[in-house]
Amino acid sequence: MYRVTEKTLENARKRRAAIAEAARLQITEGGFVSATVKAVAVRANCSTGLIYQYFRNAEDLLKGAFAHISAYELSIFSRGLEQYQDIGQAMDTAVKIFIGRSLQGPRLADALLFEALPPLVEEERLRFRRSWTHALSQRLDQAIANEQLEQQNTVIVATGVTGALSENLLPRLHHATVERTHLPVQEFISTLQILCRKMIGLPHHIGGRP
C-alpha cells in the first residue's frame, strides 16, 4: 500500500508554493483577471492538469495566490511596525513601507486592495484587511502599555488608519482619477505619516522636525 511520507508532503508544499508564486508574478503584471489557470501554468512551467491537483478550480487558485501575496506583504508591514521601539518612528516606517511598496508595484497593490474579485477570493481579501488591522492594533496596544500613547480603542483607531492609507492610495493607483495637482511622492508619504500620527494621538513631528 502506498504511504504518504513527510518528503512527499514537503514536495507537494513546494510545488503548491511554486504555483502560487507563478500566480503572483502573473497578477503583478496583469491583475487577478489575467491569472487564468492556463497563464499560471505557462509561468510555472507545468500543465494545467498539475495545477488542478493542488487547487480545486480557478477561483481556488486565485484564493491561494491572494493568501500567498498578502502573507508576504503583511510580514513586511509588521516588521516595519516592530523596527523601532518608539511608536512614532514605528508608524512612520510602516506608512513609508506600505505606501512605497504600493507605488512601486501599482498593479499588484490595486489587485490586492481594489480589484473586483470572485466571492471566495474576496473572503481572503477581508481576512488580509483584518490581519493588517490586527497587526497595527497590537502595536498600538504595546505603545499604550509603554505609556507612549493615551488609552484608546486600538481596533477602531487601527481600522481608521488602514482605511485612510487605502483610500488615499486609490487615486494614485487609478491614473484616470489622479488630479493634476497631486503631491510628489515624498510629500504624499510625509503627509500620510502626519495624518496617521494625528489619528493615534501623537505630535505631528517626523524625523525630529515639527
Q: What is the pLDDT of residue 73?
A: 95
Mean pLDDT in consecutive groups of 10 residues from the start of the chain, 210 residues: 71 88 93 95 94 94 93 95 96 97 94 93 95 97 97 98 95 66 86 97 64
Domains of the chain from N-terminus onward: 6-200 (1.10.357.10)
Dihedral sign for Cα atoms in the order 174, 179, 184, 187: negative
Q: What is the pLDDT of residue 12?
A: 82
Burial 75-94 (b: 16+ CB within 10 A, else e): eebbebbeeeeebbebbbbb
Q: What is the pLDDT of residue 205?
A: 63
CB 43 within 8 A of CB 25: yes
Q: What is the pLDDT of residue 206?
A: 57
Q: What is the pLDDT of residue 67?
A: 93
CB 19 within 8 A of CB 52: no
> Residue type for 160, please?
G
Cell of 2: 502506498
CA distance 121 to 127: 10
The whole-model pTM stands at 0.86
Count of residues in the chain: 210
In Å, what is the CA distance from 3 to each residue of 7, 9, 11, 102? 11, 11, 14, 45
